[in-house]
Amino acid sequence: MEEKILAPEAGEKEVISKNFIEMEIEKDLAEGVYDHVQTRFPPEPNGYLHIGHAKSILLNYGLAQKYNGKFNLRFDDTNPTKEKTEFVESIIADVKWLGAEFEDRLFFASNYFEQMYECAVFLIKKGKAFVCDLSAEEIREYRGDFNTPGKESPYRNRSIEENLELFAQMREGKFKDGEKVLRAKIDMASPNINMRDPVIYRVARMSHHNTGDAWCIYPMYDFAHPIEDAIEHVTHSICTLEFEDHRPLYDWVVRECEFENPPRQIEFAKLYLTNVVTGKRYIKKLVEDGIVDGWDDPRLVSIAALRRRGYTPESIRMFVDLVGVSKANSSVDYAMLEYCIREDLKLKKARMMAILDPVKLVIDNYPEGEVEELEVPNNLENEALGSRKVPFSRELYIEREDFMENPPKKYFRLFPGNEVRLFGAYFVTCTGFEKDEEGKVTVIHCTYDPETKSGSGFTGRKVKGTIHWVEAGSAKTVECRLYENIVDEEKGKLNEDGSLNLNPNSLTVLPNCLVEPALAEAKAYDSFQFMRNGYFCADCKDSQPGKPVFNRIVSLKSSFKLPK
Ligand code: ATP
Ligand code: MG
């Protein structure tokens, strides 16, 4: 689907690749079909946006940018039953956060109801639409199926005058819900079932979040959507593959309503991710059952959840770019999204010290009562992030897994007799340890060598392991939350009864982590690398001033795994 074109001015290896939508747009511009590019993102305000929507948003926005065009945010709010203002607000916030700039072009399809009504009247006057009294069930029966042509409605040949009169009465509320519909008069024998005189207006007494009770008739999606696009002078109406069979109807509507320079529809494949739950029905159940903490639970992939987890707009843009645009449905590995956030944060974030599972380390030959301020670099790969001071003293905490009484081969961390580097501080040699009655290590003892101070230029000897630590007296206790995928595709996403096969370990709460003092100041959405433990972000819901809760965004790739 991708065409690779050699950039003439660039070296042989460089290629500019265009996706098939870009190729279509360039063809249209070259042929003068359009003299500008206008795209839109048309969400239905019936839920929170997810990573799939992010792809659609960034695709539409990106195309507008690339071709000096404009991008609109338009709510496709023509079906009042499931729509809520809460969703309108969350969608606006999410689109803005992703950086898709719609400026003052925020539109609501419901503001076009009058124009849609006029389009319907126009079609009736052309003899292209008729009021039908068949029930929903009868309409279905008459429609036929893939193998059987449809049967024409007995109301199909009503006069234009009668149709105009009846349609006006539909609007005035003369009929009960479902009693009459307006249908396009196209072709009951069409091989495309969508073209068999589709319903374009129905009577439905529903209060609308925007228009209230002004209307008791509502347009159907396939009629409303092309009109919305045409009103906004959209050129390329980009949607997902399930609308491919609806394209002839889209074209019919804009043609018969005689819009000038009508928009065209182009379809692409939806984005699916492995090991995540995207279906609204499933998420709703997870929320209702209290398994997740709302639509923005960090284990979900709604945009709000990704933001709360600590994903950045940049990482999502990188992900969407890497995935590309395709005509074939496929699932993308969740690990790719993780790769993108690691890449984005790698050079941007300070690498701090936090101990998730603390055990005490006592440096027996370090002066009692003394506290040193050590200068440590914030990011060894990015000097621009500068350095900070961290306290150091005789008593520290280290990760429990950084000590072993009887280590396996290639374990380079602390064990009796072994020397390691304490990051940014000194070399220490393990001299012993204490255990409680259950055999759990409670204190590790060591001695330090003052000569080996970090930054002193010491070259006397090398050690294989570097471990991180926090100073006992100044460390702050915080809660950290570790996540695993909520479902595991390899183990089967669903149980036999159709319910989700949930991973019981999707959330681990560690209430007693110890962090260096600076981390206690973290505010909602601040993120850091916790050395060797991954990237963490201060939770926006549960953090308190001076007492943040940290969500692990993603782990670092680990070079060594303890044998189980
Ligand atoms: P869902 O049922 O998952 O919420 P939807 O299609 O009902 O999706 P809409 O609000 O109708 O949600 O969609 C808004 C836009 O987002 C549409 O243009 C739709 O094609 C696009 N979209 C929805 N899901 C995806 C996806 N997984 N990948 C790419 N685009 C998507
Ligand atoms: Mg929808």
* Rounded distance from Cα 53 to ligand 1 centre (Å): 5
| Euclidean distance between the first and the last CA atom of the chain, given in angstroms as a whole number | 45
pTM more than 0.85: yes
Cα(233)–Cα(132) distance, integer angstroms: 31
* Rounded distance from Cα 282 to ligand 1 centre (Å): 16
Instruction: Indicate if 354-468 has the same CATH topology as 280-349+478-554.
Output: yes
- Model confidence over 537-556: pLDDT tens digits? 999 999 999 999 999 999 99
On whether the CB atoms of residues 427 and 421 are closer than 8 A, the answer is: yes
Q: What is the CATH number of domain 280-349+478-554?
A: 2.40.240.10
Is the pLDDT assigned to residue 9 strictly greater than 60? no
Q: For ligand 1, what atom is nearest to the CA of residue 47? A: 4
Cα-Cα-Cα-Cα dihedral of 273, 279, 282, 283, to 10°?
A: 80
Ligand 1 pocket test target in 55, 56, 326 with most atoms within 8 Å of CB? 56
Determine how many CB atoms are found less than 10 A away from the CB of residue 66.
13
Is the pLDDT assigned to residue 520 strictly greater than 70? yes
Which pLDDT does position 293 carry in this prediction? 92
The β-bridge relationship of strands 527-530 and 351-352 is: parallel
Is the pLDDT assigned to residue 424 strictly greater than 90? yes
Distances (CA, A) of 390 to 144, 258, 469, 474: 76, 71, 10, 9
Ligand number nearest CA of 56 is: 1
Distances (CA, A) of 430 to 111, 384, 420, 421, 443: 73, 35, 8, 11, 11
Counting residues of the chain whose pLDDT is more than 70, the rounded percentage is 96
On whether the CB atoms of residues 471 and 462 are closer than 8 A, the answer is: no
Residues 6+ apart with CB under 8 A from 54: 94, 98, 303, 316, 320
CATH homologous superfamily of domain 354-468?
A: Ribosomal Protein L25; Chain P (2.40.240.10)
Of the candidates 236, 231, 227, the residue with the CA atom closest to the CA atom of residue 59? 236
Angle at 80 between CA 263 and CA 109, to 5 degrees: 25
On whether the CB atoms of residues 503 and 485 are closer than 8 A, the answer is: yes
The three state secondary structure string of 362-403 is EECCCCCCCEEEEEEECCCCCHHHCEEEEEEECEEEEEHHHE
Q: For ligand 1, what atom is nearest to the CA of residue 49? A: 4
- Model confidence over 28-59: pLDDT tens digits? 999 999 999 999 999 999 889 999 999 999 99
* Rounded distance from Cα 553 to ligand 1 centre (Å): 25
Mean pLDDT of 117-146: 97
Which pLDDT does position 16 carry in this prediction? 62
Mean pLDDT of 423-436: 98
- Model confidence over 198-243: pLDDT tens digits? 999 999 999 998 999 999 999 999 999 999 999 999 999 999 999 9
Q: How far is CA 171 from the centre of its chain?
A: 40
* Rounded distance from Cα 60 to ligand 1 centre (Å): 13
Amino acid residing at 303: I
For the chain, give every domain's residue range.
Answer: 3-268, 280-349+478-554, 354-468
Assigned fold of 3-268: Rossmann fold (3.40.50)
Ligand number nearest CA of 45 is: 1
Residue 5: pLDDT band with limits 50, 70, 90: very low
Ligand 1: residue whose CA is nearest its atom 9: 43
Which pLDDT does position 533 carry in this prediction? 97
| Average of per-residue pLDDT values in the chain | 93
Mean pLDDT of 375-389: 97
Distances (CA, A) of 439 to 15, 90, 402: 62, 52, 17
Which pLDDT does position 72 carry in this prediction? 98
Which pLDDT does position 6 carry in this prediction? 43
Cα(451)–Cα(291) distance, integer angstroms: 53
- Model confidence over 86-121: pLDDT tens digits? 899 999 999 999 999 999 999 999 999 999 999 999
Cα(201)–Cα(258) distance, integer angstroms: 19
**Residue 86 or 433, more confident:** 433
Is the pLDDT assigned to residue 492 strictly greater than 60? yes
- Model confidence over 297-348: pLDDT tens digits? 999 999 999 999 999 999 999 999 999 999 988 788 888 999 999 999 999 9
Q: For ligand 1, what atom is nearest to the CA of residue 271? A: 28
Counting residues of the chain whose pLDDT is more than 90, the rounded percentage is 86
Q: For ligand 1, what atom is nearest to the CA of residue 270? A: 28
Which pLDDT does position 57 carry in this prediction? 98
* Rounded distance from Cα 270 to ligand 1 centre (Å): 8
Is the pLDDT assigned to residue 464 strictly greater than 90? yes
* Rounded distance from Cα 510 to ligand 1 centre (Å): 36
Which pLDDT does position 84 carry in this prediction? 80
185-194, 437-446, 487-496: which has the minimum mean pLDDT?
487-496
Cα(163)–Cα(515) distance, integer angstroms: 74
* Rounded distance from Cα 269 to ligand 2 centre (Å): 15
**Residue 503 or 5, more confident:** 503
Q: Which residues line ligand 1 (CB under 6 A)?
A: 42-44, 47, 52-53, 55-56, 239-240, 270-271, 280
Ligand number nearest CA of 49 is: 1
Ligand number nearest CA of 53 is: 1
